[in-house]
A and B are shown apart, each in its own frame.
Chain A
Amino acid sequence: MNGEYSLDTTEGMAASGDPPTNNAVDDYDAEEALERQREEENKIKIKLKSFEGGVYECGLTAAKMSVMVANMLDALQETDLTKIATREPIPLQNDAVTNKALEKIVEWVDHHWDDPPIDPDFDDEKERRNEELSHWDKQFIDIADQGELFDIIAAANFMDIKGLVEVGAKHICNKIKGKSCTEVREMLKIHNDFTPEEEAAIHKENEWIYAKD
């Protein structure tokens, strides 16, 4: 190892560097401050109330991952954030938000609240789409009871938590990948509303996808 290139050299470079580098450092500090604020806010707990009446506690920053909850909180125009904690629980008026679903959702946002925001300068939507779920997410979303799973996805969609909808969507798509149409229909309990003729016509239309198989 080259001792002469010590860590001090690096820091010295950053400190005495040209102005653009310092700007970068400022950006960095600003981001850090924002992160601290987010962390502080997350220590404030707010209450969410499910459709069935169960009340669950959740960090403020985490709860704001739900665009719907964030909007509701904004509408309160409460400047003293700590007061939010003592308020009435926020009711979530959708039948998909069951006790179980809300419990899971709170678990998810509590785990993900400090995810870095997506950098708008980079159009990495495509990469994100193809990215596999993290191990934690996989375990989280692997729910035996399909009704509960669908509750969570529908509730996340209702609460507008994009990340969680994505997790659910990827999970479902992973499960049906490689299955035949009949199998998928059985698994997801989809009602086939095509006549046999219509279905055959669609098959014929899409013959090309099997060209290489």
Chain B
Amino acid sequence: MSSNGKNGTQEEYSKDSFDRFGDDLCEEILSYLSLKDGFRYECLSKQWRRSIHQKRHNLVINTWLIDNMDHYIDVELMDSQTFELVLKKLPNITRIEITVKSSATERVFEVLMKSYKHLKTIHVRFWTGNDTQIVNRLLRTYGSQLTSIVMTKDAFNVYKEYFNSNTKLTQLSAHIGQPLQLEFSDIFNDNNSLLVKGIYQSEGYIFTMKQSEGYISAMKQLCELKALRELTLRIDVDFDNTVINSIIDYHCNEFVSQWPQLKSYHLKITYTTAPQLRRLFESVNDFNDLVVTERFFDDIDTHLPRLQSLRLSAYFEMSAGIKESAKIASNDKNDIQEEYSKNSFDRFGDDLHQQVLSYLSFRDCFRFECVSKQWRRSIHQKRHKLVINALLSEMSADHYLDVNRMDRQTFESVLKKLPNITRI
């Protein structure tokens, strides 16, 4: 325990000096630094140098996200000697995440696999274009150790050959377009015993009338995966209503009853027309996690007793419409609020409306994320304790504080209420 260390050194360090902390607490605190900050502050003191990397378990090599430069290593800007030195300093990595782009990163991956013997999670994203040789080599050698793979269509074909050796795989993701869905089914029919924990299925943006059959057949195939625990399903529809309706029909009637054991379900649906969303909500009320866009507000009073996390995204083109419908909807709900007094989701809905109304006026495009921590509790016990995360992309710094204050007032006045995070 750190107290032992501190009792001995207590005389030496003043109370407001970081030096008073023992190594273990120091490690813990510094583990929240970004990867590059970790190296940047290595020279602060000997204690920092020896503890700063100790609790870093996650290593990201060549990410495809451009926003967090500080959290990953771009090996393309680094010679192999430096890289090995870096790896030496990071002794306790248990999870790696790597995007394999070329044979150079392939070599890096091999170095990683040699350096770390205690990896628990290996997330590989193949971004190799048409070059399937790299995929082939890597899967042959390390296929049995990978836990999560993201790949393109070409890589997928290669993957099929090694399917049976991928014993540790818990998550498989693919960029799946129309032509691939049949192959998708081949693979999963082959191996029902595999415990596939999560599948991230990213549907291609193909706008054809035949698409609905494609979706339905894909859903049918997904139903084969009885061990599925986490599912993200993305449906992009930009065509006429009957097609959407047939997809939704299938989704509501068959698809959602497939997984009693599903713990987390992300459904992303893009609509441009008014759909049967309400029905959709009802059909997914067994799931914990739901992602929708746009017309959400029309039907927000729908019962969603299991919802723990709710994400909304909307785009400016439709914001005027939302604004109107949201206004109407929130008025409506004020009237019926008494009826649903036990069901705080209605109030929650009102909050959301207010939030959205306050953001829409100055945001072109926003992503709005709300997490309601005590959801289940609040629905039954009138305990209105919610944590709302509002995530606004591209928001200018001036607006930041404004919004922050506005949110607080809104929320504090409406409910005796909880933290409200606004972040850029």
Contacts and interface: CB of A to CB of B under 8 A. Distances in A.
A83 interface: no
Interface stretch (B12-20, B207-215, B351-359): B12-20
B125 interface: no
A56 interface: no
A122 B263 contact: yes
Contacts of B144: none
A44 interface: no
A114 B374 contact: yes
B17 A136 contact: no
B111 interface: no
Contacts of A75: none
B421 to A, nearest CB: 5
Interface string B366-377: 000000011011
Contacts of B77: 208, 211-212
A135 B420 contact: yes
Interface in A13-36: 13-14, 17-18, 20-21, 23-24, 28, 31-32, 35
A212 B41 contact: no
B282 A5 contact: yes
A37 to B, nearest CB: 13
A157 interface: yes
A88 interface: no
A205 B85 contact: yes
B396 interface: no
Most buried by B among A32, A166, A209: A209
A189 B282 contact: no
Interface string A176-206: 1100010011001111111000010011011
B32 interface: yes
Nearest to B39: A206
Contact of B121 (A10, A24, A123, A170): A123
A189 B44 CA distance: 10
Interface in B368-419: 373-374, 376-377, 380, 383, 385, 387, 389, 404, 407-408, 418-419
Interface stretch (B21-29, B134-142, B149-157, B237-245): B21-29
A203 B43 CA distance: 7
Given A202-B42, A208-B78, A135 B408 contact: yes
Interface residues of A, number: 75
B78 A211 contact: yes
A81 B192 CA distance: 49
Contacts of A18: 257, 260
Interface string A141-158: 000011100110110011
A168 interface: yes
A208 B86 contact: yes
A146 B229 CA distance: 45
A202 B2 CA distance: 28
A96 B6 contact: yes
Contact of B387 (A5, A13, A95, A134): A134
A92 B32 CA distance: 27
B306 A208 contact: no
A90 interface: no
B43 A199 contact: yes
A145 B21 CA distance: 16
Contacts of B46: 193-194
B36 interface: yes
A205 B377 CA distance: 52
Contact of B41 (A20, A157, A181): A181
Contacts of B86: 208
A1 B374 contact: no
B44 A158 contact: no
A120 to B, nearest CB: 11
A86 interface: no
B216 to A, nearest CB: 21
Contacts of A194: 43, 45-46
Nearest to A124: B264
B276 interface: yes
Given A23-B260, A168-B29, A181-B41, A134 B302 contact: no
B3 A94 contact: yes
Given A134-B419, A135-B408, A212-B74, A7 B302 contact: yes
B44 A185 contact: yes
Given A24-B286, A150-B20, A212-B74, A129 B32 contact: yes
Given A7-B303, A134-B420, A208-B78, A145 B16 contact: yes
A76 interface: no
A136 B257 contact: no
A158 B286 contact: no
A124 B260 CA distance: 21
Q: Which 10 A-B pairs have the closest CB atoms?
A: A20-B260, A134-B419, A136-B419, A188-B18, A147-B15, A189-B17, A147-B16, A146-B16, A135-B419, A169-B29
Given A13-B285, A194-B45, 18 more contacts: A1-B299, A7-B303, A13-B282, A114-B374, A114-B383, A126-B58, A135-B419, A135-B420, A147-B15, A151-B15, A157-B2, A158-B3, A166-B32, A173-B30, A181-B44, A188-B17, A206-B40, A211-B78
Interface of A: 1-2, 5, 7, 9-11, 13-14, 17-18, 20-21, 23-24, 28, 31-32, 35, 94-96, 114-116, 119, 121-123, 126, 129, 132-138, 145-147, 150-151, 153-154, 157-158, 165-166, 168-170, 172-173, 176-177, 181, 184-185, 188-194, 199, 202-203, 205-206, 208-209, 211-212
21 contacts: A2-B279, A32-B380, A116-B308, A123-B121, A132-B423, A133-B421, A135-B408, A147-B16, A150-B16, A154-B25, A157-B28, A166-B32, A169-B30, A173-B37, A176-B37, A177-B34, A181-B40, A181-B43, A206-B42, A209-B40, A212-B74
